[in-house]
Amino acid sequence: MKKILLLVIISIFAGAVVFAGNPDRQGEAGAGELLINPWAASAGLHTLNTASISGVEALRLNVAGIGRGFERTSLAISNTQMFVGTGVQLNAFGIAQKLSESNTLGVSIVSMNFGDIPVTTFDNPEGTGGYYSPRFFQLGVGYSYTYQNKISVGVLFRTVSESLDDVSATAFAVDAGVSYLAGEKDNFKLGVSIRNVGTPMKFGGEGLSFLGKNPSGEGDYQLTFSQRPAGFELPSMLNIGVSYDFYLESKSYIRALGNFTSNAFSLDELGAGLEANFRNFFVARVAYKYEIGAESLDERNAYSGLAAGFSVMAPIKKGSSRKIALDYAYRATHVFNGTHNFGVRLEI
């Protein structure tokens, strides 16, 4: 099993290196919601913790890490207030369950809420009195295998859906990852992941049909015509990250991390961050991300710049390793008023 997963991951990585970073394809991908991190702990690090991410949140960044950081079961729920002022929200639920010491299975569900949008027409530009709401939905199922607690590999399959009442598009994507730990206290961590490699999306449905005049001109009647939309690719990317823990005492440390992201359809990104863990009770995070080659704000990703966050953790019972954590993150944006992430994690 281990060898098969490694071969699959190496093959996907090779494809990513060949195709990623092509400037001629920038801006051609869709399904941008796949790039949004709904989890608060990793969002506070600008999603730069490819090497050290663990538990449910690893289902979003590096699936190889889903089996780390807890004993048996990890649950998480989150709410993201995106671009404050727009009313857009992202809600997520995830669970990671260890099947054995080495095998872990994880499932995540993410939905995007745009609120109620007024229906307008050519004849009623101020609105008809009706409302609609787009439905963006993702379901991911991931598996990881850990060898002697040092090397982990994983693969995740995700379905992506975007729909209105009369138009919809669906795609399937694969994520894969590997992580490696070294050092007396596993101080050094290395992680590599490939995300969103999958089928193209194309919209279809009755909403793309319209009534038009008979093109032959014979008879005064109308025909139904169907528009043929163009397909679009998913925003695939390759992440390479490292981190190192500087221990202050047995249960307190400062983690320095760095990450490089090669985007197939946008500018590449480079970032660094710090995470301070105080006796597994309070964790503070700060990170900065930079887009390589961006010369102006118009060329930058909305999330380039600073991110920060914190977690407060407490055992469910005194002396127990089972714990509950409250997470918060804020990411600055150069449009609107930033993004807030709120989350709750339960590790049992």
| CATH number, residue 281 | 2.40.160.40
Q: For the chain, what is the mean pLDDT?
A: 87
8 Å CB contact between 29 and 235: yes
Provide the pLDDT for residue 142. Answer: 97
Give the residue-averaged pLDDT of 262-278.
92
Give the residue-averaged pLDDT of 208-217.
76
CA distance 300 to 26: 12
Lowest-confidence pick of 69-73, 165-169, 226-230, 258-262: 226-230
| Enclosing domain of residue 193 | 2-347
Q: Which of 82-86, 87-91, 314-318 has the highest mean pLDDT?
A: 87-91
Confidence bin at 335 (pLDDT 50/70/90): confident
Cβ count within 10 A of residue 284: 15
Q: What is the largest CA-CA distance in the chain?
A: 87
Both tokens of 282, joined, read 């309070």
Give the residue-averaged pLDDT of 315-343.
87
For the chain, what percent of residues have pLDDT higher than 70? 89
Element (H or E) spanning 17, and its range? helix 2-19
Q: Which residues of 19-49 are buried (b: 16+ CB within 10 A; e: fewer)?
A: ebbeeeeeeebbbebbbbbbbbbbbbbbbbb
Please state, in angstroms and as integers, the Cα–Cα distance from residue 278 to each residue in 184, 248, 284, 310, 312, following that order: 20, 9, 9, 11, 10
Give the residue-averaged pLDDT of 87-111.
95
In total, how many domains does the chain have?
1
CA distance 290 to 270: 5
